[in-house]
Amino acid sequence: MSFRIKIPIPFHLLNVALAAVPLIISIFGITSQISDYIRSGSLLRAANLISSSCCDNFDFIVVGGGSAGSAIAARLTEDPQIRVLLLEAGGNPNPISYIPATASYMFLHPSVDWQYKTASQPNSGYGITKREIPWPRGKSLGGSSNSNFMIYNRGNPRDFDRWALHTGDARWKYKNVEKYFRKIEDYFGNWDGNGYHSKGGPLRVEPVRYRPGLDDVLKAATEKGYDIRDQNADQKQGFSPLDLTQKRGMRFSTYRAYILPNQRRKNLVIYRYTFVTKIHLDDSRRAVGVSYLRHGVKGYASASKEIILSGGTINSPALLMHSGIGPKEHLQQVGIRPLVDLPVGSTLQDHVSTAIGPFILNKPESLILHRDVDVNAIVNFFRNGIGPLTSPQACVGVGLVSTPGHSTDWPNIMYTVASLGMFFGLPYILDTAFSTGKLADTYLGPHVGKDSHVILVTLGLPKSRGFIRLKDNNPLSQPIIDPQYFTDAQDADIKAMVKGVQLIVDLYENTTALQKLDAHLPPTNLPGCENYVLRSPEYYECFVKTVTITNYHPAASCPMGRPYDPNAVVDSQLRVIGVKGLRVADASVMPYVTNTNTNAPSIMIGEMCADMVKKTWNLL
């Protein structure tokens, strides 16, 4: 039963609240750190523990407690005889992260995010300061699953079949990895009961609970000939309501799925606020231990069996290179002695995106924060798990389409439909979060107060590849991240993005369902694109290259492949080539990024890695 009392929050108080979000996050972050520190035992015990430099011996060390690492640590410690150390640079998730509507705000503070930016991009990011595109990455137990938009997408079966062909290992075919997706799921989503999902797994999946305007979008999609379908079954071109990793409206991260239920296991030791600086190899090139900084104090831990690196697509290659594993010439340039010459960080991929909109509406079919978030909404969220606070920035649906030349069974464009109205403060938030100066304020400002939808258009199957490199030999320095957006030789990526934009504009402006809402783009050019004819292909290309953002899906910086593959960093069992006792398990091992969101595939990789390790050591 939901409350109907309408007690609006005054606009000036709302603006104060929005401005205070980073401060609130900071306060909760500090509180969380203190809580984590006390939870580990007495201050004296903690002081003794972190000052030790030689006494931590484990069977396995897992570096990074994100989506893959948390799954690995939980699965390995199912055997009580196996002792596992999990090292995480952050702490427990910020309590605010449990509220899905705060997703974007989680990126704003260094206590929960690495604050990465790309190198200046030659062909994109025209509207961003120095063309350095923000690349948020989560820093806490649960990793980016604490700050993502919670969208549960497995990817296309052909994604995984391509991995299997690339590696020569049939274990990566979809018919084989599907059992791990089922193993992950506690599924109560939009397509419950269709035979493609399972219950009882660690990760809760539920339907989007707040969905203004979604029915109209789905009707418009059917007008254009798209099916409404489960995109986690046999994925094909079509649209769907979102399945989200949440429970009763609250975020359900991999921390909640894997760490929280198992953190009291005696054989699982978790070091929070621990930054790993180096992986140590012995004379036979076996990984034997790691050096780290914990609460600023140096430490060392050893592993008798294996070290599993799950730092993510940026941190995993960076740590390998700081440990002497990487491109020989580059390591020498930054003053690191090469131990194993591998193409670490050389084949980076990401889902480049743009936000097209706002599609202005004449009816209240969107979330306008200053109108719709009131005391009633807050009470309903905490009591009933419903309302606008359950939604990650009003995202309600996903569409997958194929541009000309691509199979409809393997779509290359993804739409994330956000029923996001132009609320007061939104332009400022966007300009701040994405370093766009006054771009959002100039373009969106005249429409503040209006209902609208915004569509995130994402290139699901990019051809461009970039790289991760070290700035210097200081492990605390941020690495150089260069995704090289829109640099493929045939310009296929930008052509596909322009077509993707044209298709979604056509859906909004030329269907009966959405024209009932008078859906339309603003009749003005985006700042910086004034010299192009509005709505022409050239204008949309300018738009995409000006409003360039990541969809937070970096991958393929430590790709798996056959041992003789010149681009391979790990083999098909995720073992670092030329090194014993060291694996990598996270999105970095994907040889090609999946065509949709990467959180579920990253968890699947963690589950597969855990089984591979167990089989190696006869622990199954």
Q: Span 489-493, mean pLDDT?
A: 95
The pLDDT value recorded for residue 110 is 86
Q: How confident is the model at residue 104 (pLDDT cuts 50, 70, 90)?
A: confident
Residue 332 φ/ψ, nearest 5 degrees? -65, -35
User: Nearest-CA neighbor of 287 among 483, 58, 123?
Assistant: 58
Q: Answer yes or no: is pLDDT of 43 > 90.
A: no
Q: Which position among 197, 447, 453, 553 bears the catalytic label? A: 553
Burial 488-506 (b: 16+ CB within 10 A, else e): beeebbbbbbbbbbbbbbe
The pLDDT value recorded for residue 543 is 98
Burial 249-283 (b: 16+ CB within 10 A, else e): bbbbbbbbbbbbebbebebbbbbbbbbbbbbbbee
Neighbours of 114 (CB within 10 A): 18
3-state helix, strand, coil in the chain (%, to 5): 35, 20, 45
Q: Span 361-372, mean pLDDT?
A: 96
The pLDDT value recorded for residue 620 is 81
The model carries a pTM of 0.93
> For residue 150, what are its two tokens?
């919670």
Q: How many CA atoms lie within 13 A of 531 on its CB side?
A: 2
Q: How confident is the model at residue 49 (pLDDT cuts 50, 70, 90)?
A: very low
The pLDDT value recorded for residue 352 is 98
CA dist list (Å): 240 to 169, 353, 449: 32, 19, 28
Q: How confident is the model at residue 55 (pLDDT cuts 50, 70, 90)?
A: low
Q: Answer yes or no: is pLDDT of 35 > 60.
A: no
The pLDDT value recorded for residue 22 is 46
pLDDT, tens only, 381-398: 999 999 999 999 899 999
Neighbours of 27 (CB within 10 A): 14
261 upstream amide cis, omega within 30 of 0: no
Helix (H) or strand (E) holding 67: helix 67-76
> What CATH number should be reported for the domain whose range is 97-133+204-252+349-467+479-550?
3.30.560.10
Q: How confident is the model at residue 433 (pLDDT cuts 50, 70, 90)?
A: confident
Q: How confident is the model at residue 56 (pLDDT cuts 50, 70, 90)?
A: confident
Rounded Cα–Cα distance for residues 338 and 315 (Å): 18
Q: Is the dihedral angle over the CA atoms 154, 349, 567, 400 positive or is it negative?
A: positive
Rounded Cα–Cα distance for residues 518 and 365 (Å): 11
Q: How many secondary structure helices (H) and strands (E) does the chain include?
A: 17, 25
| Percent above pLDDT 90 for the chain | 88
Q: How many CA atoms lie within 13 A of 559 on its CB side?
A: 29
- The residue extents of the domains of the chain are 20-94+255-346+555-616, 97-133+204-252+349-467+479-550
Q: Are the CB atoms for 357 and 514 separated by under 8 Å?
A: no
Which of these CATH numbers, 3.40.50.150, 3.50.50.60, 3.40.50.620, 2.60.120.10, describes 20-94+255-346+555-616? 3.50.50.60
Residues 6+ positions from 90 with CB-CB distance below 8 Å: 111, 112, 138, 139, 140, 141, 272, 273
Q: How big is the chain, counted in residues?
A: 620
Rounded Cα–Cα distance for residues 184 and 204 (Å): 9
Higher pLDDT among residues 222 and 15, named by residue: 222
Rounded Cα–Cα distance for residues 229 and 233 (Å): 8
Q: Span 560-583, mean pLDDT?
A: 97
Q: Are the CB atoms for 398 and 239 separated by under 8 Å?
A: yes
Rounded Cα–Cα distance for residues 312 and 54 (Å): 27
Q: Span 189-206, mean pLDDT?
A: 97
Q: Span 482-494, mean pLDDT?
A: 97
Burial 204-224 (b: 16+ CB within 10 A, else e): bbbebbbbbbbebbbebbeee
Q: How many CA atoms lie within 13 A of 396 on its CB side?
A: 23
Q: Are the CB atoms for 547 and 431 separated by under 8 Å?
A: no
The pLDDT value recorded for residue 399 is 98
Rounded Cα–Cα distance for residues 15 and 21 (Å): 10
The pLDDT value recorded for residue 42 is 36
- Which residues partner with 251 through β-bridges? 246
Rounded Cα–Cα distance for residues 483 and 468 (Å): 8
pLDDT, tens only, 526-570: 999 999 999 999 999 999 999 999 999 999 999 999 989 999 999
The pLDDT value recorded for residue 24 is 47
The pLDDT value recorded for residue 421 is 97
CA dist list (Å): 281 to 291, 315, 328, 557: 11, 19, 16, 21
The pLDDT value recorded for residue 332 is 98
Asked whether the domain spanning 97-133+204-252+349-467+479-550 has the same topology as the one spanning 20-94+255-346+555-616, the reply is: no
Q: Span 513-527, mean pLDDT?
A: 97
Rounded Cα–Cα distance for residues 68 and 311 (Å): 9
Radius of gyration of the chain (CA): 24
Answer yes or no: 553 catalytic. Answer: yes
Residue 525 φ/ψ, nearest 5 degrees? -75, 150
Neighbours of 233 (CB within 10 A): 15
- The C-alpha angle with vertex 50 and arms to 49 and 54, in degrees rounded to 5, equals 80
Residues 6+ positions from 405 with CB-CB distance below 8 Å: none
pLDDT, tens only, 1-25: 444 444 444 444 444 444 445 444 4
Rounded Cα–Cα distance for residues 95 and 103 (Å): 12
Q: How confident is the model at residue 103 (pLDDT cuts 50, 70, 90)?
A: confident
> For residue 174, what are its two tokens?
């979809």
Neighbours of 77 (CB within 10 A): 24
| Percent above pLDDT 70 for the chain | 91
- Can you tell me whether residue 615 is helix, strand or coil? helix
For the chain, give the mean pLDDT.
92
Q: Are the CB atoms for 415 and 226 separated by under 8 Å?
A: no
Q: Span 207-234, mean pLDDT?
A: 97
Q: Span 135-153, mean pLDDT?
A: 96
Strands 274-281, 268-271: pairing kind: unpaired
Q: Span 142-146, mean pLDDT?
A: 96
